[in-house]
Amino acid sequence: MAVMPHEGTHTIIFGTIAVPVGSAQFDGYLARPDQSDPARSVVVLHGADGLTPDTKDLCRVLARQGWVVLAPDWFRGAEPSVDALASISDHRAIALIDEVVEFLASDDLPYADATRPAVVGVGAGGRFGLLYADHNRSVSAVVAVEPMLGDDVAEAVSGIGAPVLGFFGADDEAIEVESVDALQAGTPNGQWIVYEGVGAGFLDAGGDGYHAGAERDALARTVRVLAAALA
């Protein structure tokens, strides 16, 4: 059986896990290699659609590369919506990701090595990931798929020392190609890919914007960047 460049070969374990946040907790989705030795860690950040089957599939794809992958549920089981995500401030998002990284580094997850985690985010999760990589300089790499842009993101990427990889569809009406060009110019360690003839949501296999070719290329590039950073 042929194996695509982004398809790993590790046997994995996956499912819902409770993530402690202060004195409370919220659900997350964990996928990891079926092994006892600690493996490098990746935090996956979903967008406005919530912790969807597609996000969980992304976690499993990355786990098959041999990494421990944890995706927190921003909404804590509530109905996903743009308004609900907008209610999460940048400060709160960064604090939540800090909690996730601390959990990965805790004795509760002896199979996870979170010394220099990577971050992968989609949509608003991509934006939070970029801001977090600027906040936490121990992040080894950050991948952002269709992140929401703004002056704060441009400022953040200019200071990120880790490799940055970003993706957009040229037909995504929420994004101006000129702004992506400016982002590329301002990201010293980054590469921003724009897929011609591709719109928003190209990674979502269950959505109208799904594009198999762009998904395949984006996943292959993501795996290459993470493999180098997490080696």
Helix (H, G, I), strand (E, B) or coil at 203: coil
Query: Span 12-24, mean pLDDT?
Result: 91
Q: Tokens for 41?
A: 């860690």
Q: What is 108-172 written as a DSSP string?
A: T-TTEEEEEEEEEEETHHHHHHHHHHHH-TT--EEEEESPPP-HHHHHHHHT--S-EEEEEETT-
- Among candidates 92, 115, 93, 114, which has minimal Cα distance to 30? 114
**Is residue 126 over pLDDT 70?**
yes
Helix (H, G, I), strand (E, B) or coil at 192: strand
Domain boundaries of the chain, sorted by first residue: 12-229
pLDDT tens profile 133-185 = 999 999 999 999 999 888 888 899 999 999 999 999 999 998 887 888 888 99
pLDDT band at 223 (very low <50, low <70, confident <90, very high): very high
pLDDT tens profile 169-181 = 999 998 887 888 8
Which CATH number applies to 12-229? 3.40.50.1820
Query: Span 100-124, mean pLDDT?
Result: 97
How much is the pLDDT for 21?
84
How much is the pLDDT for 6?
57
What share of the chain in percent tops pLDDT 90?
Answer: 72
Q: Tokens for 108?
A: 């509760």
Cα-trace Rg, the chain? 16
Global model pTM greater than 0.85:
yes
Q: What is the mean pLDDT of the chain?
A: 92
**Could you give the angle at the alpha carbon of 68 between the alpha carbons of 65 and 73, nearest 5°?**
120
- Among candidates 51, 49, 50, 31, which has minimal Cα distance to 41? 31
What residue type is 229 in one-letter code? A
